[in-house]
Each structure stands twice: as C-alpha cells, then as structure tokens.
Structure 1
Amino acid sequence: MGREPAFRIVRWELKVLYIVVAWIVGYALIDLLDALGAPGVALEIVNTIVNLAAFALAVRIFRGRGEPIDPPRAWWRMTAWPTLSRRLGILCSVLAAMTVLGAILGALGVTALPSGVTLGLGVGTALQFGLLAFLYLNSAVHMARLGIAKPERLRPTIRLS
C-alpha cells in the first residue's frame, strides 16, 4: 500500500478561497469569544494564533506553478519562487511599519484609533506582520542562495499548425 498523495492547492482561485475562509473562521471565532465575554487580551492572543496558524498551513499546502507537488517544502520555504517571497516580505514590512506608526500616533493622541482597535491589537498586528516579513525575506534569501529561480516559461508553447 502506497502513501496517500499530499493535499496541495495550486490554482490561484482556490488559494484566494482558502484565505477568505480562514479570515471568516478567525473573525467568527473572535466574535464568538467576544460575545461570550472573553477579555480583550484573550481575543488578541487568539486572533494572533489563528492568523499565524492559517499562514503556516497555507505555506505548507500552497504550491506554485512548476513547483513539485508531492514533496513537503523545506521548513524555511514560504513560496514557490524567491521573487514572490521578496515582494511579500517587503509588503509585510511596510504593513508592520504602518501598524507601528499608527499605534504610536494613536497612543500619543495625534490620531484616533479606529473603533474597537486597542494599542495591544496594534502591537499584536505589527508583530504578526513583522514575523511574516522576516519569514518571507528569509525564504527569498535561502532560495536565491540555492539558485532556485522561477522558470522563464511555465506553460508549453501552443502551436496551431
């Protein structure tokens, strides 16, 4: 008896669906805990754990075009190609910086924090983005060092003759 094939998501539409469902599940869980009277710090901790768990699972099951499907990814590999890892790392870095700036300005009273947003939530969100930035940029560096690069053509040339 052979090993069961690994569950992988390759199509971008299904990746978007995964992200939307993970976000809805996380939001519903936090809303439920809030309705049950959980303290704010517990909501922030659960939110962080749910978000990071959803990312960790996505990194393990998402596959890029041309990337081997069955073998598990190396622990440090976040995406199929270094360019995407680098771009997502930069995006997460910018989001972390913006979140920190917003939290600082809100704490100083320069700007009002949006309704329901606390300084703790801002710090938690900044830490999440900071961790993801580090992981994505680390992935890009590892792949570049190993010479992993996206092939120029992932689709075969179609000939009509």
Structure 2
Amino acid sequence: MEKAPAFRIVRWELKVLYIVVAWIVGYALADLLSRLGTPGVALEIVNTLLNLAAFAIAVRIFRGRDEAIDPPRAWWRMTAWPTLSRRLGILFAVFAAMSLLSLSLTVAGVTELPGGATIGLMIGAALQFAAFAFLYLNSAARMARLGIAKPERLRPTIRLT
C-alpha cells in the first residue's frame, strides 16, 4: 500500500490564508467562550493553546520554494531558509520587548491596560513572543551552522491571473 502524499503549503498566498483563518477561528472561539461565561483565565489559556497549536501546525506544513516537500522538517527547523528565520526571530524579539515594556509601564501605573486586556494576557503574549523569537533564532543559527542557504535564483513570481 502506497503512503499518501504529505499535506504542504508552498504558495505564499495560501500561507497568508492559513494565518488569517487560524486567527479568525481563535477569535471566534474566544468570543463564543466569553459569551458562555467562561472565566478570563480559562479564556487566556484556551487562546494561548490554540495559538500555539496553529503555529506548530504551520511550521510543519509550510514549505519554501525549492525545499523538499515529502520529508518532515527537523523538529528545530522553523522556516526554509536561515535569513527568514533570523528576520522572524528578530521581529518576535521586538514584539516580546514591546510587550514587556507595556506590561512594565502598566504595572508601574504609567499607562492603563489596553481595552479588554488583562495582566495575564499581557504576560502570556510576552512569553509567546519570547518563545517564538527563541525558536526562530535557534533555527537560523542551526541552519547557518549546517550550511543550509537560500538558493540565489529564488525570486517571487507575481501572477495576476
């Protein structure tokens, strides 16, 4: 019996669609649970777990152009190429720092919580951003160490039809 082909997303448009749908599903579930009277802490835990699950699935099924489709990625590999991992790692590190700064200013009484946010939600966001930064930067460092590099001929093709 032949093994079924692996489900992978290569086109950037479909990757964006996946992210948008995952965000909408998370928002809709949180809204539903909120309307059902679920305590805030439980909402934050469910939201965090859903975000992490969507992220973990995306990392496994997204593929870069010229990246092998069938074999699973190494557990530590977050993107196809080290440059993208490094850029995303830096972006998430900036988000983590901004979250920590916002949290610090709120705790110090300088600013107020953004609408609908709680201290727990802000801590959870900062931890998620920091974890993502670590994972992406670790991925970039390992790929660079192994000599994995983006082929020079890669250029996005834009199709209007």
TM bucket (normalised to shorter chain) is: over 0.9
Residues in 1 aligned to 2:98 and 2:20: alpha-carbon distance in whole angstroms: 23
Identity %: 77
> Secondary structure of the residue that 2:112 maps to in structure 1?
coil
Write the letter of the residue equivalent to 2:49: I
Deviation per CA, 1:74-121: give whole Å up to 9, x if none: 000000000000000000000001001101111221012111111110
Residues in 2 aligned to 1:131 and 1:31: alpha-carbon distance in whole angstroms: 25
Which residue matches 1:95?
A: 95
Write the letter of the residue equivalent to 1:60: R
Residues in 1 aligned to 2:68 and 2:31: alpha-carbon distance in whole angstroms: 38
2:73 is aligned with 1:65: no
Which residue matches 1:3?
A: 3
Write the letter of the residue equivalent to 1:98: M
Which residue matches 1:158?
A: none
Residue ranges of structure 1 left out of the alignment (5+ in a row): 156-161
Which residue matches 1:35?
A: 35
Write the letter of the residue equivalent to 1:22: A
> Secondary structure of the residue that 1:77 maps to in structure 2?
coil
Which residue matches 2:122?
A: 122
Residues in 2 aligned to 1:44 and 1:122: alpha-carbon distance in whole angstroms: 10
Which residue matches 2:144?
A: 144
1:154, distance to aligned residue in structure 2 (A): 3.0
Residues in 2 aligned to 1:154 and 1:48: alpha-carbon distance in whole angstroms: 35
Residues in 2 aligned to 1:115 and 1:86: alpha-carbon distance in whole angstroms: 32
When the two chains are superposed, the root-mean-square deviation of aligned CA atoms in Å is 0.8
TM-score (norm 1): 0.94
Aligned residues: 155
Residue ranges of structure 2 left out of the alignment (5+ in a row): 156-161
